[in-house]
Amino acid sequence: MDKIRTRYAPSPTGKMHVGNLRTALYEFLVAKHEGGDFLFRIEDTDQGRFVEGATDLIYRVLKKTGLEYDEGPDKDKGNGPYVQSERVKSGLYMKYAKMLVEKGEAYYCFCTKERLESLRTPVNATAEDDEDNKDVKEVRKYDKHCLHLSKEEVEANLKAGMPFVIRQNIPTEGTTSFTDANYGTITVNNEDLDDMILIKSDGFPTYNFANVVDDHLMGITHVVRGNEYLSSTPKYTRLYHAFGWEEPVYIHCPLITNEEHQKLSKRSGHSSFEDLEEQGFLPEAIVNFMALLGWSSGTDREIFSLKELIEVFDYHHINKSPSVFDMNKLRWMNGEYIKAMDDKAYIEHALPYVKKVITKPLDLEKIAMLVKTRIETFCDIAEKIDFFEELPEYDTEMYVHKKMKTTKESSLEVLKDLLPGLEALNDYSIAGVEAFLMNYIAEKGIKNGQGLWPVRTAVSGKQMTPGGAYEIMEILGKEESLRRVRKAIEMLEK
């Protein structure tokens, strides 16, 4: 078999939607699993949808996620340019469109906007009809009016400089079939397909045309797409056949939905790589999660590095039914990745989040390390460490703990007992504080909780804290720990 070649072909129209990222990842894995090539091509022929900066963003995401491409705009291996707007300049798409005109598989259309508006047969929504592109939904099935122009009429119109588009000529009878690796053989009635535009009036190809030409010229063997493209695929099939080119293997992936089983929309707040990054998720965890969003390894195992995914990823195990974006699962997974990070990398990543909350001269690295195994995303850090910056207002009811066997009175007694010793203590390291407190507990003959609960409550003002009294006091230091214990005594005496 020839070497597998896949491509990621995004349109620079904004943030990197998770569906696009999943496509990129699967394209990468399909190729790498078989030692093939992964290409990166920018599909920017729809100039109206172009968003400034979106291309840079795609590069950034590919880099961050480790989806290294073998060929791309900045890695030309002789199949370039890899940016469609640059390919347009060579007249490439026009040349191929004209070849189809010659074969009777396409035709010039000179219809005015007004005439097209007057056509009233709606066609099924196409893949390009997303929420940002509502106008496309207005497209009507074209009535082949210009197919019937004579050769002379066409030439005269072209000579007169009349604006034109080139349309695919789809038979009105019969059927078209293609086979998808995931969804099997799909057959549609040709009468349900419209004569889609191949070349637009601005001379640019449509995405629908350019992707076929480019995939062929770039030797693409496998095409991974979201299943919203299934309805357009028969038209691509007809183009491949019209040219006499071999079709790639199509691998359509299931829709990604939110937990309410609706299409994951931009409004969900976590529909793009950037959203997730902002919410404190690690690129590695996002990649791992994306891999399982529509594919399973066939085992219970869920944690896979990109390298491991390359080994195990078999596209025959992509699911057909919609994949639910389970935020809790992503959070859990991210927590596992955080725990597994080496401390240096973790601290580097966590410090900016710590600095957002802590302005006092405390040991920020220690604070970061204290929460390492206790967070699921980096954004959880703030809420876990805020008490270091400032003792929160709290209710003395917190000293009452059934399991710890503490009451307000017993807590007050413990804190008052401890205060002189804490004032005299100079070693506020974890070991120092531990030795002091455990000594007191042993002397008093009380349970650990009876001694430690009041102290931890006093120095944190919180019911739940990362680390116990020793860790917290080491970070706060002597002065602040004492201030908090005194404050607790004052509150409990009221």
Active site residues per annotation:
266
Provide CB contacts within 8 A for 488, sequence distance 6+. Answer: 411, 415, 454, 457, 458
178 or 388: CB nearest ligand GLU: 178
Q: Does 207 bind ligand GLU (CB under 6 A)?
A: yes
Q: Which stretch binds ligand GLU (CB under 6 A): 4-12, 265-273, 289-297, 449-457?
A: 4-12
Site string for ligand GLU, 392-411 (x = CB under 6 A): --------------------
Of the candidate residues 34, 37, 43, 474, the single one contacting ligand GLU (CB under 6 A): 43
> Tokens for 130?
């997303």
Site string for ligand GLU, 114-133 (x = CB under 6 A): --------------------
Nearest approach in angstroms of CB 320 to ligand GLU is 18
Cis peptide before 12 (omega within 30 of 0): no
Q: Does 19 bind ligand GLU (CB under 6 A)?
A: no
Q: Give me the helices (H) in 343-468, please.
A: 343-355, 364-371, 381-389, 408-424, 430-444, 448-460
Q: Does 18 bind ligand GLU (CB under 6 A)?
A: no
232 or 410: CB nearest ligand GLU: 232
CA–CA distances in Å: residue 174 to residues 167, 177, 244:
19, 10, 19
Q: Are 440 and 413 in contact (CB under 8 A)?
A: no
Q: Does 17 bind ligand GLU (CB under 6 A)?
A: no
Of the candidate residues 10, 205, 335, 461, the single one contacting ligand GLU (CB under 6 A): 10
Count of residues touching ligand GLU (by CB under 6 A): 7
> Tokens for 381?
């850090």
> Tokens for 68?
């290294």
Bridging pattern class, strands 222-226 and 175-180:
unpaired
Q: Does 248 bind ligand GLU (CB under 6 A)?
A: no
Site for ligand GLU in 299-358 (CB under 6 A): none
Q: Does 11 bind ligand GLU (CB under 6 A)?
A: yes
Closest CA to 374 of 465, 478, 251: 465
271 or 481: CB nearest ligand GLU: 271
Nearest approach in angstroms of CB 225 to ligand GLU is 5
Q: Supply the Cα-derived Rg of the chain in whole angstroms.
A: 32
Residue with tokens 């597998």: 4
Distance CA 62, CA 59 (A): 5
> Tokens for 191?
């009468």
Q: Does 225 bind ligand GLU (CB under 6 A)?
A: yes
Residue with tokens 């804490």: 422
Of the candidate residues 5, 6, 9, 414, the single one contacting ligand GLU (CB under 6 A): 9
Interface residues with ligand GLU (CB under 6 A) are: 9-11, 43, 207, 211, 225
